Chains A and B, each alone.
Chain A
Amino acid sequence: MLARAVTHALVGLDARRVEVEAHVQSGLPSFRIVGLADRACQEARERVRSGIAAAELEFPEGRVTVNLAPAELRKEGSGFDLPIALALLAASRQVPRDRLQGHAAVGELALDGRLRRVGGVLAVAEAARRHGLERILCPRDSAQEATLAGIEPVPVRHLADAVAYLRGEHQPEPVPPPARGETPALADLADVRGQERARRALEIAAAGGHNLLLGGPPGTGKTMLARRLPGILPPLDEEAALEVTRIHSVAGLLPTDQPLLEHPPFRAPHHSASTAAIVGGGPGIRPGEASLAHRGVLLLDELAEFARPSLEALRQPLEDGYVSVARAAGRAVFPARFQLVGTMNLCPCGARGDPLVECTCSAQRLARYRDKLSRALLDRFDLVLAVPRARAEELAAPRAEPSAAVRARVVAARERLRAGAPERVPEADALLSNAVERLPLSGRGRARVARVAGTIAALAAADSVLPEHVAEALAYRAPQELAA
């Protein structure tokens, strides 16, 4: 007897339709899963066998074969447990076959038959909807996530619930719509004393989506400032929120009760993180930090401590806005359009930028440190800022403007920029050309200054870019000693 359940296998962020065919024949008892299943997927046998027993149902007698079709598509993970179990139960007439075929199913089984959440439910639910299915059987904890796909979730706590529902003995419990509109509690700029220039640069970076590099001696508040960037960014629009949620879902990082991520994500990997952890790849298909920061902020705190290959690997996403990860079968593509913020000391001993301490670095050590920041990476920072040590008087400065006030200006500037970047008046162009000759500024440097000047004009609500906007933008260019 043959029965079929439908689910979807993740390929990067996409899900492709997979038919789970269960075939029960007479013969010596056996249970095989065929169709390019990975190890986690092969282990479904134990979980399904045990789960069916726990639900007080019969594991089919005889030769049991489960085929995951199409066979050439690699099946990864434990989300196939539920569809496999249901297909087996249908093949042994314990649930109605026709009813099962109108549903998608996804979820991992615990040995006691309970359902566990898996990553990527949003992508799976979206694919199910695209294929014309109206309902998806999924773990209770994933149900709110599934509603985001515009499909009706059937929340299931235990395999027995799924069976009862398919037999028509049990109505699914209603799924409350996901909570919305609550912004997470973020660190506030009001805590940062002094540092007027860095605060201003942070605001410009937020308004223009510019990459920002903060260099200075330890303890000047670089990390503190960088962590306050998300708090002055506008919330994501609907489409971006879904995109970000899809990525975090695949990584298994969504909160249960508020699955839609409406705020730009903030990721700050430690410098000891592997290249795979940062850009994605490795044995699984987990998106890396660069993709988890998609449409948000990627902070590389102590940039110079990161391994050179990790920094080099970031060049592709910085250039193209996506990461393509090699897999056994072909490649998976994850979006990775993030705003990069870096912090670093100005020299290995850290004294540079501190008026009270003398740098003890040798010329070679200094050169090696600066060379680590390759030209190509440095070229990606529109704003480069020295954050020197604040003297005592500055830390006694009064509490400053809170993030909410800054965010209001950022939102207004973004609105203006969306309507089109302002044009430079001829005098502003002349100043830019003069600077290129005198400073010196590379062609790329010129383009960066021009971009930043446009953002400054938008913050000033000016209709065109004036010389004063270009002049200020020039103050945030990469200094000679780093540009080498």
Chain B
Amino acid sequence: MNELALALYASESGTHLVDAPRGVAWAGHLQRFDERSARARLAEKGFRFLGRSDPGFPPLLGAIHDPPAGLFFRGGAEPELLARPAVAVVGARACSGYGATVARGLGRDLAAAGLVVVSGLARGVDAEAHRGALEAGGITVAVLGCGIDRDYPAAHAELARRIAETGLVVSEYAPGVEPAPWRFPARNRIVAGLAAATIVVEARERSGALITADLALEEGREVFAVPGEITSSLSAGTNALLKLGASPLTAATDVLASFGIEPEPPAPRHELLEHLPATADELTRRTGLPAPEIARTLVDLELAGLVSAADGLYRASP
């Protein structure tokens, strides 16, 4: 069976296909299909395609119960990169400052330790995880729920471009497929499928991130959940996961340990970190240091990856 033909057919017809269907439509499609020109059209736009039985296809994704026929790629890196140990970081799009800080810090620390950070390019937790990985100079992979030629959401076009510089943007959908909400669960199975472990940072009940976690559990992958305040509806989903037996994540080292990666010995902590989370003004009052000095110190800590800020609240990075 030709996997590129199947991927294009599935994209065109908007159907979720694992194997070639029966019927005249597919037969006709196969008859018209010209592999050379199809690949040339992709190459022209800088896209590549890897079929599920090609040797370079990510083995973990190939092992899920409904793998895609193949993946379309854009970006500078080789698809073999997807065979490296990878972690998915997912969560709410309208995350809180807490969620954003945690996602950013995890993206950074996991990528710095050499893991590939996989997510869905969505707003909120997804984008923060990608950005954290980029900040650390690490590798991150964005999985799209639309055609490989689309940037969705459009506001993340620049982020996608930066991800593709050193990592990959991937999709099971051929160029031209419009973003549609009903495709996001399918996208989530690829996010979870590419990764040996999935981390849920913040999730409301019945949200997309929980679907990703369920898919990971079904495939027997490890699932981590970040504990949140019991009064916050943004943590209802993650706290429920913890009740169900997901591993609690309180530091990046929890994940690294499951990959057998020894954490770096902890650096001596800066004194200001003891006062976090806090606003800049609270730090001024708690330390007695003037506002300009607090501002400078916080920026130094931010640049060192030890602190991050959201909505005016500074937090120590996980």
A residues lining the B interface (CB < 8 Å): 194-197, 199-200, 216, 346, 352-353, 355, 358-359, 361-363, 365-367, 371, 385-388, 390-391, 393-394, 397, 434-435, 438-440, 456, 468, 471-472, 474-476, 479-481, 484
Contacts and interface: CB of A to CB of B under 8 A. Distances in A.
Given A200-B291, A353-B312, A435 B303 contact: yes
Interface stretch (B31-39, B54-62, B94-102): B94-102
B74 interface: no
Nearest to A366: B94
Contacts of B309: 386, 479
Contacts, number: 108
A414 B156 CA distance: 40
Contacts of B156: 484
A481 B296 CA distance: 21
A438 B303 contact: yes
Nearest to B305: A438
B192 interface: no
Contact of B93 (A363, A371, A476): A363
Contacts of A352: 97, 311
A292 to B, nearest CB: 32
Given A196-B280, A352-B311, A438-B135, A481 B100 contact: yes
Nearest to B232: A358
B281 A195 contact: yes
5 contacts: A363-B93, A366-B94, A388-B311, A440-B162, A471-B295
B94 A359 contact: yes
B292 interface: yes
A479 B311 CA distance: 8
Contacts of B94: 359, 361-363, 365-366
Most chain B C-beta atoms within 10 Å of own C-beta, residue among A397, A475, A476: A475
B123 interface: yes
Interface residues of B, number: 42
B281 A196 contact: yes
Contact of B296 (A363, A365, A366, A468): A468
Nearest to B135: A438
A272 to B, nearest CB: 27
A371 B155 CA distance: 9
A484 B155 contact: yes
Most chain A C-beta atoms within 10 Å of own C-beta, residue among B135, B310, B311: B311
A474 B280 CA distance: 14
A481 B310 contact: yes
B296 A196 contact: no
Contacts of B291: 196-197, 199-200
A197 B296 contact: no
A386 B311 contact: yes
B299 A471 contact: yes
A386 B155 CA distance: 22
Nearest to B296: A471
A391 B312 CA distance: 13
Contacts of A471: 295-296, 299-300
Interface in B270-314: 279-282, 284-285, 290-292, 294-296, 298-300, 302-303, 309-313
Interface in B46-64: none
A367 B311 contact: no
Most chain B C-beta atoms within 10 Å of own C-beta, residue among A199, A216, A355: A355
Nearest to B298: A475
A40 B155 CA distance: 50
Contacts of A391: 282
Contacts of B96: 358-359
B131 interface: yes
A393 B278 CA distance: 13
Given A200-B292, A362-B94, A481-B310, A390 B281 contact: yes
Contacts of B294: 197
Given A358-B233, A472-B292, 15 more contacts: A196-B281, A196-B291, A197-B291, A197-B294, A200-B295, A216-B312, A371-B155, A385-B312, A388-B312, A439-B135, A440-B162, A471-B295, A471-B299, A475-B296, A479-B311
Nearest to B131: A480
Contacts of B131: 440, 480
Given A358-B233, A471-B299, A484-B155, A197 B285 contact: no
A367 B153 contact: yes
Nearest to A199: B291
Contacts of A435: 299, 303
A270 B162 CA distance: 40
B124 interface: yes
Contacts of B232: 358
B267 to A, nearest CB: 17
Interface in B135-178: 135, 153, 155-156, 162
Nearest to A216: B312
B234 interface: yes
Nearest to B136: A438
A353 B311 contact: yes
Contacts of A387: 312
Contacts of B124: 363
A32 B157 CA distance: 65
Contacts of A363: 92-94, 122-124
